[in-house]
Structure 1
């Protein structure tokens, strides 16, 4: 089984107080037709200037992990290091 790509989905969650909380749901697809999901939360920490460029992150994630074995989580995290917060 090999990773064929990722898709990032931006989700904005209103809060009762403060600013909107931005989250990203990440789908990782494989050549076996299996998909896995992950999540990055509270990315901006309350300030729009801190929002990451999600399109650039998605492109870079695809470039780094395409063809990787999704069962090797430690290696995949290592390959994603530096582009995803806390990856």
Structure 2
């Protein structure tokens, strides 16, 4: 299990590198093992979400909360 702290706010999410998130997501979705300390927080965040979407791990509360916040922001922006 990782010693990293999951992203919990949209501000934290906004500081991450989108390309690294995408790379991590693909690897997590493909079932690759949890990355070690040689990978960035951005990659790890993407890996966590990809692993959930790929069915390799359960979504945790931090992931659910960031998703709720992101959807709420999108709805506000389209209003």
Category of TM-score, reference length = shorter chain:
under 0.3
TM-score normalised by L of structure 2:
0.25
The structure with the largest helix share of the pair is 2
TM-score relative to the length of structure 1? 0.24
Larger-Rg structure: 1
Greater RCO (CA < 8 Å, at least 6 residues apart): 2
Select the structure that is richer in strand: 1
